[in-house]
Amino acid sequence: MAQNARLQGLGILVLCSLLHPAMTTAQQPALNLMPLPANVQSGAGSLRVDSTFSVAFTGYAEPRLERAGERFLRQLARQTGLPLALKPSKTAKATLVIQTDHASKEIQEVGEDESYILDVSTASGRLRATTPLGTMHGLQAFLQLVDVSPDGFAAPVVTIQDKPRFPWRGLMIDSARHFIPLDVIRRNLDGMEAVKMNVFHWHLSENQGFRVESRKFPKLQELGSDALYYTQEEIRDLIAYARDRGIRVVPEFDMPGHSTAWFVGHPELASGKGPYEIERRWGVFDPAMDPTSERVYKFLDEFIGEMGKIFPDHYFHIGGDEVNGKEWDANPKIQAFMKSQGIKNNQELQAYFSGRVQKLVVKHGKVVIGWDEVLVPGVPKDIVIQSWRGQASLAQAAKQGYRGILSNGYYLDLGWSAARHYAVDPMSGDAANLSAEEQQRILGGESCMWAEYVNPENVDSRIWPRNAAIAERLWSPQEVRDPASMYARLDFVSTRLEWLGLTHRTVSRHMLQRLAGSASSAEFAALRTLTDVVEPVKDYTRERTAPAEPTSATPMNRVVDAVPLESDAGRRFGELVDQFVASSCHDAAAEARLRAQLTVWRDNGAILQPLAQRSFLVKEVAANSQDLSALGAAGLAALDAIAKGQPAPEAWKAQQLALLEQVKKPKAQLLMIPAPAVQKLIEAASAGGACSSPKS
Amino acid sequence: MAQNARLQGLGILVLCSLLHPAMTTAQQPALNLMPLPANVQSGAGSLRVDSTFSVAFTGYAEPRLERAGERFLRQLARQTGLPLALKPSKTAKATLVIQTDHASKEIQEVGEDESYILDVSTASGRLRATTPLGTMHGLQAFLQLVDVSPDGFAAPVVTIQDKPRFPWRGLMIDSARHFIPLDVIRRNLDGMEAVKMNVFHWHLSENQGFRVESRKFPKLQELGSDALYYTQEEIRDLIAYARDRGIRVVPEFDMPGHSTAWFVGHPELASGKGPYEIERRWGVFDPAMDPTSERVYKFLDEFIGEMGKIFPDHYFHIGGDEVNGKEWDANPKIQAFMKSQGIKNNQELQAYFSGRVQKLVVKHGKVVIGWDEVLVPGVPKDIVIQSWRGQASLAQAAKQGYRGILSNGYYLDLGWSAARHYAVDPMSGDAANLSAEEQQRILGGESCMWAEYVNPENVDSRIWPRNAAIAERLWSPQEVRDPASMYARLDFVSTRLEWLGLTHRTVSRHMLQRLAGSASSAEFAALRTLTDVVEPVKDYTRERTAPAEPTSATPMNRVVDAVPLESDAGRRFGELVDQFVASSCHDAAAEARLRAQLTVWRDNGAILQPLAQRSFLVKEVAANSQDLSALGAAGLAALDAIAKGQPAPEAWKAQQLALLEQVKKPKAQLLMIPAPAVQKLIEAASAGGACSSPKS
């Protein structure tokens, strides 16, 4: 308890140290920690990590800690290539000594103590935490600290006092639209542990699939899943796996909409006549549960009872989003019910449904969590709102006394950059003006991986590394928000995440190899050059620009499926152009690098062209390849114009900008990322002033 | 049986088609098959492989074939990214229809019919085989045929009539010196299946470890394995996994030498006094079983009985190699026994031991296989010799009536190029002069992965892709031996093997990332540039040049552990130099590419240098990096001299060659592969003649 109080007192220190990065001495390399801790004090020197490295646990002991220690040692061995003894030491003499005060709750709760203190000296390390949750976070921080050094592997001397800003830091994975096997889920839980996320929100039912074995209602999975579902035993194992990593598992069964797959086996739950089939398309569909049927509530009572036993978490997600009401409108019995009960519209009807379901959830000892739509007048105050609508919606809920978490701004499927997600803060906008008490109700946030365009193969690459930036947003102090620092650390963390078994980087190469077939090494390099600077279209453009209506049977083997959602090469090129232009075009080193890059791009199309003749999947990006060559040529022309020292003619500029407008148009559902940076060069070339003056 | 006879008749066709590659029409791209089939007839057009692709089995049915069909469909889905139905069709209407005539033996035998005929037309595919073994080989051939095309994924129209040249095509993995976990073994079995190898020889006991659970003698694994061993259940599972892929599992328990780990728990078996500890060093050591002790034979009788039940294969490998005899010399009881029995020397004593053990193996229903040393006068003719000594030894054995397999020339740990292994033929040298009957006794060969310098992390990269070239040597007709064709196909197969789960390419990048730490992307690229053109020292040089005596606890995280054993970039550079010199230095395109490459090398050292300051593991290769820069500069100077059109001065040549002698010296246990090619440029520059004449 004393420990607890001491950690509570760290809040102020935290902000000071983070607002003054100068406190990190200049001799020290930047620490590759992500999320950044609440408080870091760097010292001189480092702790050597060699084959004799050992870990010992003191204080509170439990098997989960032993396993965490073994996992830590295995990961440290992988990270260093050292043949370490993979069992924690039985004595208190060890390189890293860990003190845990007491147990955490058997069923992990929101707001449990997750703090830890990590002291690394040149002689040893010491990790202290109130509960195993903090211990596990501290072990992850230590792993991030260890790196190769001039003298061997080492962790820098440092004192970290850390605790999370928000108690609810989640990742939602939609396993319903495309089924995601357990090994993929498990490695994503490993990734979550590494970046200190603590809630796995599992979206388990949808129009396109019902993914859990029900023993009470086996037709749910037998007819609603194409035989792709998790058995109860598998789920129990996964929950244990998550608990071992300090992660809660919150199940979501979306109702009354998004529920076609339930109705294949149980048409009696639906508001329409049926029969129903598993939906193969994407979108919002008509089928919805019948809110006027007592059979529905009896079914849900038993179902929630059964699922509540499998999923021990205190929270139970009932979805509630995107009901279009068409089946309700078309059903005379439902219309009669509404009239008799004085229910004026479908929103009120959904409120009635939510209220009934909420009581069932409470009856089975759980708290309801649902999307914005479940917040309707009269809903009890203990429910939690997950907001896809945004901070204003969240703030309004908090004012009314409801707790909430933010997901708007954290939709991983929209293809935003890490920086854009990183800039989204649960406490910004209307939330910033809440009272302290109201702000307490904002529990955190969840990133969401909706699965229309992800499958087991590429899902890692749609979650990572960007999810690590969201994890930092939810853990680190609000003042930690420099995107340059974030990107520098993200690159490092991304590598480390692959060592854990995530495949977000390697899969892209594998998928490109597939669509390149027996390309020569030069052709494959050219394909990489192109695919390194394109990104899939953003937001919901992919639906709108699809050549044919996409379904769950549409192959995901195209370039748009293979490339990362964020182009590192494109971002770096943009930074280099900014640096060059900011030097009034006098930075000769930057210019040389720009020229080299632009030349490669200009010449790339010719190399790639034969491969486009041989592969239909490369042919799809032939226009993108031409665009890249044009962009290279335009950029080089701009640099030539700048070198001449005269403002380029207006006609030239107009022509180049017209070209760029063409290049900026998505093709094959891909965006050409360096286009705006090349536009800056063209504008600099024609601007007059320093950028078109002869260099000094 | 008619089928069988038809396939037997293919032998002659085979050679014709392969000696006349012109039979493959010029319109067809080369087929990426490895091993190349005995006979291929290419046609026009291709069979489209899309989401409707299906497989059906007809004729003989067994669960193993069903599983092979599912595995095939899964792999095809991975290879194409198509959402295929992953169960074989229940009707005979399918894209690929498979006919299997009858079962293969319950326990797979040497020389079973493995032939298959694969017909691909534009409308469908048809695979026919006598037994499931051939069916599985044919499925692998079909997978290799499918590639991306201008119109979608497709398999070319082709008729393949195929059967193996040798019945014994093995890979030996030493799981004893470094323990190799089962998941790693399994993915290597997947790789073996892909290239049609059919024997997994499992080296299970060594001075450094005893890796199998014995229930009769549990002290073997309890005291002899550091808790790193396979349980009997795990072994049974692995054997089933191998059988599913048409692979026999031959266990090796090396005796009477290479056996220190047995003696930790059972010192009574040894010829010395003990006590014994698990050996941590590498090499040949003194401990050996006591050939004069009846207790030893009683023990081995029970032990072989127990192991013979776990490993169903008809062959049982007793090792027999490298006994130095020192414990025998030092033991008066053994000396007395020799005198009393008229045994003149240690070789005869080992023959006595081998004879006794051979009888025990036969008693338990097995046939002995052993290394060359077990072949001593009087040993029964049914034993099989595995020759590490070479074709002469093998031929001698065959003349005496013994069957044998070749491993000399196939030791993967020696770091040879694929081409060098590929050139080794079991029927060359003395074996070429054997009679037909004697040649029948040469059953094939086995590649060997000895594990002093491999661990679970890098073992894939030490086996693959080179093992595929050996697999082709053992399957394809003897006339198939063009290294250029082999390398072109190997590159393709190597990619495909990674899709199966092997990590031979990705692991190298991971290991380099580890030793690069938080390198910038430019620094990491420079590290890749260097490591792309070095290879670990060959043969047994690594032992001899080790900075400190290596042991099983020595970390394997250095550059020498991370880089592939064969440098593709180095080989390609050599080919380009040859092309340039062959053009009398007039090939301008080749010159431009050489210049570009040499310039990158020349400038690489400066980029890498700061990283060498930060990482002790990069620092180790600082001298190699300087060498590469020097090589780049020397090569550029040679090209400049050639361009001048005058023979370069002798003094210059001498200076450059002296530099090259320095560069050729191994540093950090690495060889600089492009050095000989740069030497050719220097010699061309100073030769006079066409290469130093002005270009026409």
The 3-state secondary structure of A461-527, one letter per residue: HHHCCHHHHHHHHHHCCCCCCCHHHHHHHHHHHHHHHHHCCCCCCHHHHHHHHHHHCCCCHHHHHHH
Q: Is B511 on the interface with A (CB under 8 A)?
A: yes
- Predicted pLDDT of residue A2: 36
The ipTM (two decimal places) reads 0.91
Q: How far is CA B358 from CA A444, B43, B135, B404, in A?
A: 71, 53, 36, 16
Element (H, E) at B111: none
Instruction: Please tell me which of the candidates B150, B557, B617 has its beta carbon nearest to residue A613.
Output: B150
CATH of B2-162 given 3.40.50.300, 3.30.379.10, 3.40.50.1820, 3.30.450.90: 3.30.379.10
Q: 3-class SS at A62?
A: coil
DSSP 8-state code for residue A668: T
Q: Taking CB atoms and an 8 Å cutoff, what residues of chain A touch B607?
A: none
Q: Is residue A510 less than 8 Å (CB to CB) from chain B?
A: yes
Q: Can you say whether the dihedral through the CA atoms of B262, B265, B266, B270 is positive or negative? A: positive
Phi, psi values for residue B99, rounded to 5°: -120, 120
CA A371, CA A385: separation in Å to the nearest integer? 6
Chain B contacts in chain A segment 556-585 (CB below 8 A): 556-557, 561, 568, 572
**Tally of helices (H runs) and strands (E runs) in chain A:** 28, 19
Distance from CA of A514 to the nearest CA of B (A): 6
pLDDT at site B384 = 96
- Taking an 8 Å cut-off on Cβ atoms, the answer to whether B498 and A510 are in contact is yes
Distance (Å) from the alpha carbon of B165 to chain A's nearest alpha carbon: 27
**Where in chain A are all domains bearing CATH 3.20.20.80?**
168-476
Residue of A nearest to B152 (CA): A616
pLDDT, mean over chain B:
93
As annotated, the residues of chain B forming the CATH 3.30.379.10 domain(s) are 2-162
Nearest alpha-carbon partner for A358 in A338, A373, A341? A373
A51/B81 Cβ within 8 A: no
Instruction: From B453, B252, B548, select the one nearest B371 (Cα to Cα).
Output: B252
- Residue B455 is classified by DSSP as -
CB-based contact B81 A510, cutoff 8 Å = no
What is the tens place of the pLDDT at every residue in B620-634?
A: 999 999 999 999 999
Are B118 and B125 spatial neighbours (Cβ–Cβ below 8 Å)? yes
Which chain B residue has the Cα nearest residue A151?
Answer: B616
Going by C-beta distance under 8 Å and a sequence separation of 6 or more, which residues neighbour residue A82? Answer: A49, A50, A51, A53, A76, A153, B555, B557
Nearest CA among B460, B438, B415 for reference residue B188: B460
Instruction: Band the pLDDT of B27: cuts 50, 70, 90.
Output: very low
Residues of A annotated catalytic, as ranges = 322
Q: Which long-range contacts (CB under 8 A, 24 or more apart) does A333-342 make?
A: A333/A292, A334/A271, A334/A290, A334/A291, A334/A292, A337/A292, A338/A292
Q: Minimal CA–CA distance to A345: which of A332, A360, A356, A335?
A: A335
> Is B547 exposed, middle or buried (CB count within 10 Å of its CB: 0-12, 13-18, 19+)?
exposed
Q: Is B625 within 8 Å of B608 (Cβ atoms)? A: yes
Q: How far is A383 from chain B (nearest CA, A)?
A: 40
Residue A25's CB: how many other CB atoms inside 10 A? Answer: 10
Measure in Å the smallest separation between the Cα of A32 and chain B Cα atoms.
8
Q: What is the pLDDT of residue A373?
A: 87
Distance CA A451, CA A540 (A): 13
* Contact yes or no for B150 and A561 at CB 8 A: no
CB-closest option in B150, B495, B521 to A616: B150
CA gap A174, A158 in Å, rounded: 39
Across the interface, whether the CB atoms of A150 and B614 are under 8 A apart is answered yes
The span from the first CA to the last CA of chain B, in angstroms, equals: 67
Chain B window 42-61: which residues touch A at a Cβ cutoff of 8 Å?
51
Written as six digits, the tokens of B156 are 């070319």
* Confidence band, pLDDT 50/70/90 cuts, at residue B6: very low
What pLDDT is recorded for position A12? 35
- For residue B513, the chain A residue with the least C-alpha distance is A495
What residues of A are in contact with residue B616 (Cβ under 8 Å)? Answer: 148-152
How far apart are the C-alpha atoms of B24 and B33, rounded to whole Å? 13
Q: What is the pLDDT of residue B693?
A: 60
**Which tokens hold the place of A595?**
């020229």
Closest in A82, A150, A495 to B513, CB measured = A495
Residue with tokens 């339930």: A262
Q: Enumerate residues 116 to 175 of chain A having a beta carbon within 8 A of any beta carbon in chain B.
A: 147-152
Per CB-CB distance under 8 Å, the chain B contacts of A494 are: none
In DSSP terms, B315 is beta-bridged to B367
- According to the model, what pLDDT value does residue B41 have? 96
**How far is it, in rounded angstroms, from Cα A362 to Cα A372?**
19
Four-way CATH pick for A168-476: 3.40.50.2020, 3.20.20.80, 3.40.250.10, 3.10.129.10: 3.20.20.80
CB-based contact A498 B511, cutoff 8 Å: no
Distances (CA, A) of A36 to A15, A246, A495, A500, B16: 12, 18, 17, 20, 69
What type of residue is B85?
Answer: A
**Distance from the B459 Cα atom to the nearest Cα atom in chain A, whole angstroms:** 14
Cross-strand partners of A173 = A202, A449
Residues of chain A under the 70 pLDDT cut = 1-29, 689, 692-696
Interface A-B, measured as beta-carbon pairs within 8 A, has a size of: 107
Which of A518, A561, A575, A599 should one mutate to test binding to chain B, selecting the residue with the greatest count of B CBs within 10 A? A518
Give B28 to chain A, closest Cα distance, Å.
Answer: 12
Beta bridge partners of B566: none
In sequence order, which ranges of B620-674 are alpha helices (DSSP H)? 622-644, 650-664
Nearest by CB to A79, which of B80, B514, B516? B514
> Which residue is catalytic, options B234, B322, B348, B543?
B322
C-alpha to C-alpha distance for B328 and B626, rounded to whole angstroms: 51
Q: Report how far residue A303's alpha carbon sits from residue A307's, in angstroms, rounded to the nearest whole number.
A: 6
- Residue-wise pLDDT for A507-546, tens only, equals 999 999 999 998 998 999 999 999 999 999 999 999 888 8
Q: Which residue of A has its CA nearest to B87?
A: A227
Tell if the CB–CB gap between A149 and B614 is shorter than 8 Å.
yes
Residue B401 has a pLDDT of 95
Residue A1's SS3 state is coil
pLDDT at B694: 58
> Is there a contact between A613 and B149 if contact means CB atoms under 8 Å apart?
no
**Mean pLDDT on B661-683:** 97
Asked if residues B115 and B102 have their Cβ atoms less than 8 Å apart, the reply is no
Question: Cα dihedral angle (A200, A206, A212, A214), rounded to 10 degrees?
Answer: 130
Q: What is the pLDDT of residue A693?
A: 60
Omega before B88 cis (within 30°)? no
